[in-house]
Amino acid sequence: MKLKTAPRMAVNLGRLKLKNPVMTASGTFGYGEEYADYVDLNKLGAVVVKGLSLKQRLGNPPPRIMETTGGMLNSVGLQNIGVDAFIEDKLPFLRKYDAAVIANVYGETYDEFKKVTKILSAAKGVHALEVNISCPNVKSGGVIFGSDPKIAARVTKTVKEETSLPVIVKLTPNVTDIVAIARAVEKAGADAISLINTLTGMSVDLKTRKPHLKNITGGLSGPAIKPVALRMVWEVVQMVSIPVIGIGGIMTAQDALEFLIVGAQAVQIGTANFVNPHATMEIIEGIQSYLAANKIKDINEIIGTFQP
C-alpha cells in the first residue's frame, strides 16, 4: 500500500524550524549563488555559508587541495569576503529564497567572535549562527578554540551574549574526547551542535618529497571520513540533550539516513557538492523515497531509532 500523502520532512533544531533536514556544509557551497544554477535553493533545509570573519581573509597560499582515496585534503584557510561584504553583496541574493540562512562565524579572538556575531544578528535574513571553533587550517582561533572544553564554552558564551539567534557550535574531530567538548558547549548555552569538521591529514609528493599542500597539513573530507563522523555523532547524541547535526562524508540519501537513525536531527552535505552539484537535491529526494517505501509518514519517526 502506498502512502496517501508524501512523508513529512520538517525537523526542528530547537527554535530553528527546517522544512527538511538537508543543509549545505560551510565552505562547500560558497555563498549559495555558486550553486544556484544547479540546485533549487528553495528546496534546501538551510544554506550554511562560508565562514565569515570581521575583515576579509586572504586564505592560504596554493596548492590548497589534494585528492586522496575517497576524499580530499584542503588548506584553504578560511578565505572569505568579510562579514560586512557578505551582508551587503551576498545576503540579498540568499534572502530571495525559501531556505534558512545560517551564517558560519569565525574569529581569531573572543572579541572578533563578539563583533561578527553582533553584525550578523542585526542583519535581515540570517536565521541562525554556526560557530566555527574547528577550522584546522588557520594559525589563530579555529581548532585551537575547539580543542579545549573551557575555551569552547567561553566562545559559545561570548556568541550567545551577543545574539538572540539560535547558535549552533561546530566541533572538530581532532580531539581526544569530543563528548567533553560537546557537553561544555551545551552547558554554555549552545542551541545545537554540528559535527564533524575535517580531520587533519597530509600527503607527500614522491617526486619532490614535498607536501602536496603548501600548508603541509590540511583537513580531510569526503566519504573516507564518514564512519568516523557517524561514530562521533553517535557518541555525542547519547550525552547531550540539544539537537545534533551530522556532517562528514555524506554522499547519498543512504549516508544521510544513517546519521538520522543514529540520532542526528539534521545533516549537512559538504564535499559531495564538489563532485556532484546535484547531491543535496538527490539526497532530499532519496530520503523521501526511503520514507515512502517504508511507509514512514514523518521523518521524525526515524530519527534516533538506532538499534545497537
Partner 1 sequence: MAKNIYIGKILKNEEVQKDCFLMKIKIAVSFETPLPGQFVMIRIAGLNDPFLSRPISIYSFSRKNNFCLIELLYRVVGKGTQIMAGLIEGSQVEINGPLGNGFEIQSVKKNVVFIAGGIGIAPLSLLIENLCRRFPSSLMTLYFGAQRASAVIGLNKLQKMCRLVNICTDDGSLGEKNLVTRVFQKDIKKFLPEDTSIYACGPKEMLVALGKIFSKNEFDCQVSLEERMACGTGACMGCAVAIKDKKGALVYQRVCADGPVFYLRDIIWE
Active site residues: 135
Q: Binding of partner 1 at residue 278 (CB under 8 A)?
A: yes
| Residue (72 or 260) nearer to partner 1, CB | 72
Q: Binding of partner 1 at residue 58 (CB under 8 A)?
A: yes
Beta strands, E only, 85-174 = 100-105, 128-132, 167-170
Is the bond preceding residue 277 a cis peptide, omega within 30 degrees?
Answer: no
Question: Taking the C-alpha atoms of 37, 100, 57 and 203 in order, what is their torsion angle to the nearest 10 degrees?
Answer: -70
- Spatial neighbors of 213 by CB under 8 A, at least 6 apart, are 63, 64, 65, 66, 73, 75, 202, 203
Q: Binding of partner 1 at residue 156 (CB under 8 A)?
A: no
* Span from 21-29, 115-123, 228-236, 283-291 in contact with partner 1 (CB under 8 A): 21-29
Q: Binding of partner 1 at residue 90 (CB under 8 A)?
A: no
Structural contact between residues 24 and 305, judged by C-beta atoms closer than 8 angstroms: no
179-238: contacts with partner 1 (CB under 8 A): 222-223
Q: Binding of partner 1 at residue 30 (CB under 8 A)?
A: yes
Q: Binding of partner 1 at residue 1 (CB under 8 A)?
A: no
| Residue (25 or 143) nearer to partner 1, CB | 25
What is the largest distance, in Å, between two alpha-carbon atoms of the chain? 62
Q: Residue 33 in 3-state DSSP?
A: helix
As given in the structure block, the three cell numbers for residue 37 are: 544554477
Q: Find the binder of partner 1 among 62, 92, 140, 294 (CB under 8 A).
A: 62
Q: Binding of partner 1 at residue 144 (CB under 8 A)?
A: no
Q: Which residues bind partner 1 (CB under 8 A)?
A: 27-30, 34-40, 50, 58-59, 61-72, 74, 76, 79, 222-223, 251, 271, 273-278
